[in-house]
Structure 1
Amino acid sequence: MKSRYIKLALIAGGVVATVLLLNHLHNAKSFINERGNEYSNKLMHSPPPPRVVPLLSNTHIKRNSPPPPRVVPLLSNTHIKRKPTKCGETEDDFTMAGNEGVKPLTEKIALKFRSNDSMCAARYFPKPNPQLTPEETRRKQACVKTWAADHRKGSGAFWAGNTQYVRHTHHTYLNSDSVVFDIGGNKGEDAEAMIKRFHPGNYLILEPIKTLFSDLAKVFKSESKILLYNFGLAKKNDKFYVNVLGHGGDATSVFAGNDNGGSCLLRVVNTTHFLLQIGVPCYEVDLITVNCEGCEFEILEELIASGMIGQFRHVQFATHPTLKHLKNAPERYCEIQEKLKRTHTVSYQYKWCWENWKRKDIN
């Protein structure tokens, strides 16, 4: 009997223990579910953690600074077909772009034309609106409509008597502090006239034809303030063959010759890249004069599109609209006119022939 009570007591104890264990497990599960729901709700309703950006050393980041100016790499047309030429080209002329040795002129520029910004080399130039306004479009269309008559009138007036020499005599603002860029040096007639008359402090000449470049080097060998480079400017770096035309072989044009029939190698580099190389963001150029048998369109378009047109106090250029391979000359000339009006005003003009523009802030 006694053993029977013992067995019953053990069974009852086991049942109680089982009930207590099950109750404990139930409470634990409820606690876990409750905390899990609280954590889930917290995750759902809490804002995301801030994005962590790793600290970089030696980055020199300037708050709200604009992007640096576009830099175009040195490129040359390595696929040009080699052939005998008549202008004295060397092996380097065929293998190099021509602007590899270009360095900034900044240290040679008069202080009054230099920028005070120590970071000027990385200066950002806001790009102008490439689209014309309705009023600019109206004037462009009117310009295109009368271009042939205006060309005859401008050309006739410019070449009458001694009028043509206005391109030399007009620039009375030039002095020993001035820097001049002469794009298309040719035989040096314009350079020699302005140097003798105004004695600018720095005179840079670009001449892509080797024979003409060599002649210029001889003419100005004693002029320490003249800097000569044997390449031209365009929209992109390139090499091609051209014919030498004009009286005594003093005119060249990529539009008058062609790669198959041309007898002289011509190298051009991207206009914007050259301006960055020569340091134009760090100083103002008193005068840029452009006379390069058709390349003036691409150079002016690049100057304007880059935003660096404002670095040039005076802009003088010749226009050659009748070259047969020049595309859309009237439309391009008239659009250039409208975009130049945004920053400069005309100081003399023989339309479609020669003209000069002065920056608006200059008296």
Structure 2
Amino acid sequence: MEGMLDCLLKALENLPIGKGRSYEKNPNQLNIVYAHHYLAKNGKWNENIRMSDIPLLQNDKQCTVWEVGAHTSAADSQKMKKQYPHCTFHAFEPVPLFFDELVTTLAHDPLHYVAHGYGLANESGRFRIDPNLLDGQGTYLGAPAVEVVLKDEEKPPQFGVLKTFEDAKKEAGNKAPSLLHVNCEGCEWTMMPQLLQNKFFLANIPLLQINFHNYGETLGTRVVQYCNIVSELRKTHEPVHQIPFGWERWKRKDVPQEMAA
């Protein structure tokens, strides 16, 4: 089993370092650390694994997929639906501005898509969102909230909603996800430790796909947090594909490898 030191070495060897997306405009730009491998454009983003075949979903005619961080379109769920048309897809998006558009986007197929306007946590609650800081899908919402004097053209703060894993399960037909698909632009750093504490709920998740982002803290802090999460996750799950700060797939230990490949 991979220990903490092994994980730290692996994470350090796979930092999202590269010239990045702006290099063509500034060829003298030095290599820097990015939030993840996609922005670094260094070939380790590994995004194709999230759409690679999952026999477990193919064989489960009652399969459910939870996309956490669905943004405005649940784009990954819509792609996966082409592969697994028998699955039900639950799209979770706590940002009201994004959720309103998500509902409109998914309204064409209410049989397969269910939109939920909240994030997941161990306890229900609310968190502050500053609409003036929202920037497409790459928005990190974990920064401390500060009171500011708004200019006339600026929008007032909104609040996102958090519900428990158990509440989400009830709203999803009292069924935990066959696949938990997480791409929530930084919420993973709070959601994953809480999920790992909720061992009963975690034990009901056969497959997990997740992308970790280097948002909100120093890179050293995120590397340590990443390895703490991985260390706990390994108690119940095993990696199928794993590159720190790229896309990862994990299977519950009792799931055969060939069902999760």
1:71 corresponds in structure 2 to: none
Cα distance, 1:179–1:209 mapped onto 2, change above 3 Å: same
Correspondence for 1:231 among 107, 118, 137: 118
**Offset of residue 164 of structure 1:** 1.7
In the TM superposition, what are the counterparts of 1:67-216 in structure 2 within 5 Å? 139-144=3-8, 147-152=11-16, 155=37, 160=43, 163-175=46-58, 176-187=61-72, 188-216=74-102
SS of 2:134's partner is strand
2:187 aligns with one of 295, 301, 305: 295
Distance 1:270 1:343, change over 3 A: same
Note if contact 1:345-1:360 (Cα within 8 Å) is conserved in structure 2. Answer: yes
Deviates more, 1:298-307 or 1:286-295: 298-307
Aligned counterparts, 1:47-86, within 5 A: none
Opposite residue 321 of structure 1, the aligned amino acid is N
What is the identity, as a one-letter code, of the residue corresponding to 2:185?
E
Structure number with greater Rg is 1
The answer to whether the 8 Å contact 1:256/1:325 transfers is no
Please name the residue that 2:217 is paired with.
Answer: 324
- Aligned identity (percent) is 22
Q: Is the 8 A contact 1:184 1:292 kept in 2?
A: yes
How far off its partner does 1:273 sit? 4.3
CA distance in 1, matches of 2:221, 2:113: 35
Tell me, yes or no, if the aligned pair for 2:120 and 2:165 is still in contact at 8 Å.
no
Counterpart residue number, 1:62: none
2: CA distance, partners of 1:342 / 1:183:
22
Higher-strand-fraction structure: 2
The answer to whether the Cα contact below 8 Å between 2:183 and 2:210 also exists between their aligned partners in 1 is yes
Cα deviation code 1:109-147 (max 9, x no counterpart): xxxxxxxxxxxxxxxxxxxxxxxxxx87xx224433553
- Choose the corresponding residue for 2:231, options 338, 360, 363: 338
Aligned partner of 2:99: which letter?
A: F
Contact 2:37 2:245 in 1 (8 A): yes
- 2:28 corresponds in structure 1 to none
Q: 2:210 and 2:54 mapped to 1: Cα distance? A: 13
Equivalent residues of 1:235, 1:298 under 8 A apart? no
The number of equivalent residue pairs is 223
Matched residue SS, 1:301: helix
Q: Distance in 1 between matches of 2:14 and 2:248?
A: 13
CA distance in structure 1 between the partners assigned to 2:113 and 2:41 by the alignment: 28
- Which structure features the higher share of helix residues? 1
Choose from 128, 131, 137 the match for 1:240. Answer: 128
Q: Which residue of 1 aligns with 2:24?
A: none
Instruction: Output the CA distance in 2 between the equivalents of 1:326 and 1:238.
Output: 27
Across the aligned residues of Structure 1 and Structure 2, the Cα RMSD in angstroms comes to 3.2
Q: CA deviation at 1:283?
A: 3.9
Q: CA deviation at 1:358?
A: 0.6
Unmatched tracts of structure 1, length 5 or more: 1-134
Provide the rounded CA distance (Å) in 1 between the counterparts of 2:117 and 2:176. 23
Structure 1 residue 351: Cα displacement: 1.5
